[in-house]
């Protein structure tokens, strides 16, 4: 009886444990079903404005991409900072040529002697209070030359900022159109992969019907696998180009944007004469070389000013008295402490061990180098105009042929596929037509990017960005 009771008790405990486990499992499943899902992370609205707050993609044209890049480019904004700092230097140099007004306050104590006078003959009284306004003006040829030099430096900084801006246009345009090209290539790769799968299915059907050999199916499967790999590579390239563009234009990295410009749109090319006229008028490299020459010429003038005298004027008004008051009493008579005085100084240089002559020679060397750089900039500009315009013209002329080749390749692929289905062409012809279509389409997209980048490079010379 004791053994039987023990067995019954063990069975009862097992039943209770199984019931408890089932109940706990049911509660866990119910909790998992009732638990709300965590919200998906939203892209930051800082990068592209309010459209991100509603999860809508940003409509991004080339002009808007350039505007964003100018706000967030470290190189371009560094050039703007230098230009702003140079402008402030110019204002400081101008202010240094204008009269300066100061108010001076001093108290001088001098030890007296036994007669009540001062021990130092240079001092006027035991207690001396000075409170005067001073208007100071200095006339110096070196100051005028320095102002011209700083003005040229400010103009040079503005030209360098313009160079940075135009260089940024090339960088953004190249990245923008590369992303567009990668997007088109991805679409072509997807269509090629779908065409490869359809062709594989066709060869399998024809093989089952005994119309083609098993070798055709093997070739079609190999071709389909190649197309899938090319699709994966195209997806990777598209992602990388979009990320490169996002790094350039957005303050925070995001991929929630749509490129709205059409890579295939027709964009005119200005004539060589128009490009030359615009470059001669608006080329920042040429302006930078001219301002560098102006700076060096001003340095020569400033160095030669070391041989000339300098003249300064001071006008003082206030008190210089033993009492800090507007009037005082001497022997019961009231005396005004307020008064004025004028000081004029003429400094004539006599001898400084040839330092002025050395400064002139140093400035002349820089001036000579600036002249050489200006001449080089002019020659380089003429050569770049012809080279970049020829590059753009060649790319434009080739673009028409590339577009026609892509159309012919697509039509050839369609016709050869139909002929193969009717048993009039081989599997190799079908594979070759697919490869030719992908290659022709990629060549067209590359040619379109080449032409747009060539236009952007021309913009660095002319300042005119051609957009569709």
Predicted confidence (pLDDT) per residue in 170-199, tens digit: 899 899 999 999 999 999 899 889 988 988
Specify if 7 maps to a domain: no
In the predicted model, what is the mean pLDDT of residues 400-420?
89
Q: Is there a domain that residue 39 lies in?
A: no
Q: What number is the average pLDDT over the span 323-328?
A: 83
Q: What is the pLDDT of residue 274?
A: 86
Does residue 43 surpass a pLDDT of 70?
no
31-45, 124-138, 382-396, range with the lowest pLDDT: 31-45
In a domain, 32, yes or no: no
Per-residue tokens: 288: 């930078």
Amino acid 362: pLDDT: 94
β-strands 338-347, 327-330 pairing: unpaired
- Residue 50 domain-assigned (yes or no): no
Residue 46: the pLDDT is 36
Quickly state the pLDDT bin for 127 (edges 50, 70, 90): confident
Name the pLDDT band for 37 (thresholds 50, 70, 90).
very low
Domain coverage including residue 431: 62-98+140-308+349-462
Query: Per-residue pLDDT for 12 more than 70?
Result: no
Instruction: State the average pLDDT for the chain.
Output: 82
Inside any domain, residue 201:
yes
For residue 428, give Cα distances in angstroms to 21, 191, 223, 420: 65, 19, 10, 10
428-462 pLDDT, tens digit each: 888 888 889 889 999 999 999 999 898 888 888 88
Q: Say yes or no to pLDDT of 367 above 50.
A: yes
Any idea what the CATH number is for the domain that residue 224 is in? 1.20.1600.10
pLDDT at residue 322 greater than cutoff 50: yes
Q: Please compute Rg for the chain using Cα positions.
A: 42
pLDDT over 70, % of the chain: 86
Domain total of the chain = 1
Q: What is the pLDDT of residue 30?
A: 37
Name 59's Cβ contacts closer than 8 Å, sequence gap at least 6.
51, 257, 258, 260
- Residue 403 domain-assigned? yes
Q: Report d(CA 449, CA 382) in Å as an integer.
A: 25
Is the pLDDT score of 466 beyond 80?
no
- Other C-beta atoms within 10 Å of 142: how many? 15
> Are residues 440 and 405 in contact, defined by beta-carbon separation less than 8 angstroms?
yes
The pLDDT value recorded for residue 16 is: 42
φ/ψ of 140, rounded to 5, equals: -145, 130
Q: What is the pLDDT of residue 449?
A: 92
How does residue 376 score in pLDDT terms, banded at 50, 70 and 90? very high
For position 329, what pLDDT does the model report?
76
CB 272 within 8 A of CB 389: yes
Closest CA to 314 of 76, 190, 136, 54: 136
11 vs 65: CA distance, rounded Å: 76
Going by pLDDT thresholds of 50, 70 and 90, the confidence category of residue 38 is very low
Q: What are phi and psi of 107, to 5 degrees?
A: -130, 125
The answer to whether residue 6 scores a pLDDT higher than 80 is no
Give the pLDDT confidence score for residue 11 in this predicted structure: 45
* pLDDT number for residue 133: 92
- Predicted TM-score (pTM) of the model is 0.70
The listed range with the strongest mean pLDDT (111-120, 356-365, 414-423) is: 356-365
pLDDT at 297: 92
Query: pLDDT-based confidence at 167, cuts 50/70/90?
Result: confident
Residue 435 lies in a domain: yes
Q: pLDDT tier at 467 (50, 70, 90 boundaries)?
A: low
Please report the sign of the dihedral spanned by the C-alpha atoms of residue 425, residue 429, residue 430, residue 434: negative
Position 63 pLDDT exceeds 60: yes
Give the residue with greater pLDDT, 422 vs 47. 422
In a domain, 29, yes or no: no
Q: Is the pLDDT of residue 8 over 50?
A: no
């Amino acid at each position: 009886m004791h053994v039987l009771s023990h067995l019954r008790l063990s069975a009862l405990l097992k039943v209770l444990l199984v019931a408890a486990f089932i109940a706990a499992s049911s509660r866990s499943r119910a909790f998992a079903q009732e638990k709300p899902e965590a919200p998906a992370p939203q892209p930051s609205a800082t990068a592209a404005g309010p459209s991100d707050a509603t999860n809508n993609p940003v409509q991004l044209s080339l002009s808007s991409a350039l505007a964003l890049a100018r706000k967030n480019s470290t190189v371009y904004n560094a050039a703007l900072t230098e230009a702003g700092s140079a402008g402030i230097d110019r204002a400081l140099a101008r202010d240094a040529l204008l009269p300066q007004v100061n108010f001076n306050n001093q108290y001088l104590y001098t030890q007296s002697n036994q007669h009540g006078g001062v021990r130092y003959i240079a001092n006027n009284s035991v207690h001396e209070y000075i409170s005067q306004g001073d208007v100071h003006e200095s006339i110096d040829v070196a100051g005028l030359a320095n102002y011209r030099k700083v003005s040229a430096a400010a103009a040079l900084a503005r030209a360098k900022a313009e160079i940075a801006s135009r260089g940024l246009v090339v960088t953004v345009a190249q990245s923008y159109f590369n992303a567009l090209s990668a997007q088109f290539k991805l679409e072509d790769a997807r269509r090629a992969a779908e065409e490869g799968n359809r062709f594989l299915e066709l060869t399998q059907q024809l093989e089952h019907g005994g119309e083609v050999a098993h070798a055709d199916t093997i070739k079609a499967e190999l071709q389909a696998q190649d197309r899938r790999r090319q699709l994966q590579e195209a997806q990777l390239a598209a992602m990388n180009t979009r990320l490169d563009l996002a790094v350039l234009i957005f303050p925070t990295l995001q991929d929630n944007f749509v490129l709205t410009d059409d890579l295939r749109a027709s964009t005119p090319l200005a004539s060589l004469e128009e490009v030359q006229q615009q470059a001669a008028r608006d080329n920042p490299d040429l302006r930078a070389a001219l301002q560098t020459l102006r700076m060096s010429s001003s340095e020569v003038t400033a160095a030669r000013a070391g041989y000339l005298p300098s003249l300064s004027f001071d006008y003082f008004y206030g008190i210089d008295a033993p009492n800090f008051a507007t009037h005082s009493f001497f022997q019961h008579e009231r005396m005004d402490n307020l008064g004025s005085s004028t000081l004029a100084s003429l400094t004539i240089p006599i001898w400084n061990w040839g330092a002025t002559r050395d400064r002139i020679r140093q400035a002349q060397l820089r001036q000579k180098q600036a002249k050489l750089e200006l001449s080089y900039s002019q020659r380089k500009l003429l050569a770049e105009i012809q080279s970049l315009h020829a590059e753009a013209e060649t790319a434009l002329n080739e673009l028409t042929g590339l577009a026609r080749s892509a159309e012919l390749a697509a039509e050839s692929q369609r016709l050869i596929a139909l002929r193969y289905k009717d048993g009039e062409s081989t599997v190799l012809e079908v594979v070759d037509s697919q490869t030719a279509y992908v290659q022709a389409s990629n060549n067209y997209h590359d040619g379109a990017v080449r032409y747009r980048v060539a236009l952007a490079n021309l913009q660095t010379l002319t300042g005119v960005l051609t957009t569709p």
